[in-house]
Structure 1
Amino acid sequence: MNKQLIETLKAKEDKMIEIRRYLHQHPELSFQEEKTAQYIADFYKGKDVKVETNIGERGIKVTIDSGKPGKTLAIRADFDALPITEDTGLPFASVNKGVMHACGHDAHTAYMLVLAETLAEMKEVFTGKVVVIHQPAEEVPPGGAKGMIEAGVLDGVDNVLGVHVMSTMPVGKVFYKSGYVQTGRAFFKLKVIGKGGHGSSPHMANDAIVAGSYFVTALQTVISRRLNPFETGVVTIGSFDGKGQFNVIKDSIEIEGDVRGLTDDTKATIEREIKRLSKGLEEMYGVTCELEYNDDYPALYNDPEFTNYVAQTLKDASLDFEVKMCEPQPPSEDFAYYAKERPSAFIYTGAAPEDGEIYPHHHPKFNISEKSLLISAQAVGTVVLDYLKGVK
């Protein structure tokens, strides 16, 4: 039955590419994906599936029921774009100014639609159910996954499988890693309030810039002196707003920063230390600190048993691509919320363009090899059929 799936998907490869290019040309930002959500829902009209819309925000849940008892596997694809002006020169480049599919979610949706259509046509050969999760708003906290979970998208689901196409990984390969595989993320904003004054009389003021500068420097010791050397954590100051006049001591400044940790414990340590430094700054410099700390996404944990099952299934299937283990990935991903609820696996499809320079995700020139669509569909479809054959 897997041979039937593979051959059918190969015959539909052009359809995947056509869908991907349409979606690429018409991107929508997180929590604003009205037309994209409608496009997805319309695709399923007339197909032998159950479609539920507006799950959470604009999420769509599609259930493919074999009519036979068995397990339920959820497969997920996201469909939001980014506030980036495209600079690829592609003939199907974005027509929505300042919005671009610069992360590959157009590819995720395209392969998933065609795979779901094919699985619906083949449901007599498997048992149990497939739940297809079309998720909005992966890019912007709190993310679309959280709302869909709260709305019950995982009710009755045993495991969840997700795939991300990667422009920085070679095409023709699928990668996996069990355990913690992507960092969790947090964002903070610190306002340091001192006392303004004139540059000629600093003793009559309390310089917020000096206090804030110390905070930025001391913050780097959180990683070097508070984390175990074998832990992975990053703190980045992306904004220091202290602009004023050259001879005026500002009374307040604002600092914004990004936090990443490969485990939730690491993230918790960094959060505790940032709050401690903020309080210490008040004592040391006599300033007032207003700290806003937002814990965005948890670290993504791939269940070892399920992830190893996925990898072994793909290796045993002898498909037209390699299956290899990879290192953990630095970016964050709200698929982590599914993984907190059910044993899950998040894997990667190499999608580096064969020609030209390779650009990372979220870059104005980001592009992928469209061969990654068929590979993603084959990989996920192969796992679905094996998982639902009645023996796991």
Structure 2
Amino acid sequence: MATIQISVKDEVVKWRRYLHENPELSFQEVQTSEYVYNLLKTFSGLEVTRPTKTSVLGVLKGGKQSSEKQLTIAFRADMDALPIQEEANIEFRSKNPGVMHACGHDAHTAMLLGAAKVLSEKRDEIGGEIRFIFQHAEEMPPGGAIELVEKGVVEGVDYAFALHVTPYERSGSICMREGVLCASNDDFEIKVIGYGGHASTPELTVDPIAVGVEIASNIQHIVSRKLPALNSPVISITQFHGGSALNIIPETVVLGGTIRAIDPDIRIKAKNYVNQIVKGITEAHGARYEIVWHEGYESVVNDKEAVRITREVAEGIFRKENVIHVEEPLFGGEDFSAIAQKVPSSMQFIGVHHEDFGEAHPLHHPKFKIDEAALQYGVDYFVGIATELCCK
């Protein structure tokens, strides 16, 4: 099994810290992609291109000839950050106010850069082709992955692989699941339009706050009363805005939320029920409504054979006892689904927590941080997969 060299390990940490200090939001990864592009250009044997304005593709064509079928595989890392003000107690905190790598995409990018460097130095031992996809805009639907798929980045690819960090497992472990890994995600915005007036005469108004509260309450009944318990989605109301004075019933209120579903049929049913509830309640009270849907990502579905490959590699790197089987799908969304729909794929979660951190802050938290020792495992994982599939 290939192992990372100490010099590369140090570089991976350096790259990750630079990226962490200089985060950029989705579709704005100009400096990030330029940094990745320039680094890849220094690695021997890589063909480096820019499929989109803020993404990078490195292609390594192996120099080893074989009579057997040679595979084309792809590794993907996302590069964008989140609109969060960092509060983590680290020396290399974000220099961009209100922007933070709170989802570990800096680590994803650094690990794949490390793998690209190691594998570029092994070019003569590699048969087939390896594509290193550095993707923009995972955090903002419609996402960067679908754009790269449309650009043909995964055309002819036999298998695709990705890692995502998880703060809930310690560094040196990896979480694996076959089949559905992540949920689909659809967001909604509901404007309730009533008839405002003085708070002392509510009978002369159509109170959008009262109507909005009823909508929010009834949406919760979709999961508990309208859909099967064993296949229920998660539906959350996350915003409720309205009113500007204590003695005025406003003209409008706005509600917002999200639906996360594993089953595509349940996803459609849940959306239909939201539409029905909003329409029925507003009409019953003489109000009007506008509803806007922001359709998100499909579910990430891991291919059986691709997972078998990654599990065997993981057991060699992390040891079998540190390869954790994930029992249930996760309800977070991931746009790697666009790639997994086109290519047999395996996306898994690598542990990045250290006991010295104390409490494990979740993804998208302002105090989120990772144990950088996990970066070595991530590089070795990608190199191990390439060695297994392209170095025989």
When normalised by structure 2's length, the TM-score is 0.93
Task: Give the drift of 1:338.
Answer: 0.8
Show CA shifts across 1:122-172 (max 9, x none): 122221111110011111111111111111111111111000111121211
What is the DSSP-based 3-state SS (H/G/I as helix, E as strand, rest coil) of the residue aligned with 1:76? strand
* 2:233 alignment partner in structure 1: 233
Structure 2: how far apart are the matches of 1:378 and 1:269?
A: 43
The Cα of 1:277 is off from its aligned counterpart by 1.1
What residue number does 2:142 align with? 142
Partner deviation per Cα, 1:175-208 (whole Å, 9 max, x = no partner): 1101111121111110111112233333322111
CA contact (8 A) 2:45 2:123 kept: no
Contact 1:354 1:369 in 2 (8 A): no
Query: Per the alignment, in what secondary structure is the counterpart of residue 44 of structure 1?
Result: helix
Matched residues in 2 for 1:65 and 1:310: separation? 22
Q: 1:29 to 1:315 in 2, by over 3 A?
A: same
Residue of structure 2 in register with 1:364 after alignment: 366
Q: C-alpha separation between the residues in 2 aligned to 1:313 and 1:232?
A: 34
Does structure 1 retain, via aligned residues, the 8 Å contact 2:233–2:261? yes
Q: Separation in 2 of the partners of 1:38 and 1:25?
A: 15
Residues 277-300 of structure 1 deviation map (CA, whole Å, 9 limit, x = unaligned)? 122123322211100011111111
Is 1:343 the counterpart of 2:339? The answer is no
Is 2:17 aligned against 1:21?
yes
- Spell out the pairing of 1:366-381 with structure 2 (5 A cutoff): 366-381=368-383
2:334 is aligned to 333
Q: Report the AA paired with residue 248 of structure 2.
A: V
2:236 aligned counterpart, secondary structure: strand
Indicate if the aligned counterparts of 1:200 and 1:247 stay in contact, CA closer than 8 A.
Answer: yes
Q: What letter is aligned with 1:375? A: Y
1:189–1:291 contact (8 Å) kept in structure 2 = yes
Rounded Cα–Cα distance in structure 2 between residues aligned with 1:269 and 1:9: 51
User: Which structure 2 residue ranges, 5 or more long, are not aligned?
Assistant: none
Which ranges of structure 1 fall in alignment gaps of 5 or more residues? none
- 1:195, 1:385 → 2: CA distance? 67
Match of 1:245 in 2: 245
Following superposition, the deviation at residue 320 of structure 1 comes to 9.2
Mapped to 2, the partners of 1:173 and 1:61 lie a distance apart of 28
Amino acid at match of 2:254: E
Letter in 2 for 1:339: A
TM superposition shift of 1:316 = 5.1
Task: Supply the distance in 2 between the matched residues of 1:43 and 1:302 (Cα, whole angstroms).
Answer: 30
**Contact 1:211–1:285 (CA<8 Å) still a contact in 2?**
yes
Alignment match, 1:167 = 167
Does structure 2 retain, via aligned residues, the 8 Å contact 1:57–1:147?
no
Quick one: distance in 2 between partners of 1:238 and 1:56? 33
The answer to whether the 8 Å contact 1:49/1:63 transfers is: yes
The question of whether the paired residues in 2 share the 8 Å contact of 1:314 and 1:323 is answered with: yes
CA distance in 2, matches of 1:229, 1:311: 31
Residues 149-228 of structure 1 mapped to structure 2, 5 A cutoff: 149-228=149-228
Greater Cα offset, 338-347 or 227-236? 227-236
Q: Tell me how far 1:10 sits from its aligned partner.
A: 4.5
Match of 1:122 in 2: 122
**1:194·1:206 contact (CA, 8 Å) conserved in 2?**
yes
Alpha-carbon distance in structure 2 between the residues aligned to 1:304 and 1:226: 32
Question: Are residue 64 (structure 1) and residue 41 (structure 2) matched?
Answer: no
The CA distance in 2 between the partners of 1:266 and 1:88, in whole Å, is 38
Moved more, 341-350 or 281-290: 281-290
- Please tell me the root mean square deviation across aligned C-alpha atoms, in Å: 1.8
The one-letter code matched in structure 2 to 1:49 is: L
The equivalent residue for 1:51 is 48
Identical counterparts, % of pairs: 33
What is the match of residue 386 of structure 2?
384
Contact 1:297/1:332, CA 8 A, preserved across alignment: yes
> What SS does the corresponding residue of 2:347 show, helix, strand or coil?
strand
The equivalent residue for 2:82 is 82
Q: What is the aligned residue count?
A: 385
Instruction: Check whether the contact 1:192–1:212 (CA below 8 A) recurs between aligned residues.
Output: yes
Once residues 316 and 28 of structure 2 are traced to their aligned partners in structure 1, the CA distance between those partners, rounded to angstroms, is 41
Superposition map of 1:282-297 within 5 A: 282-297=282-297
Q: Secondary structure at the match of 2:41?
A: coil
Q: Secondary structure at the match of 1:355?
A: helix
Give the partner amino acid of 2:20.
Answer: H
Code of the residue aligned with 1:342 in structure 2: it is V
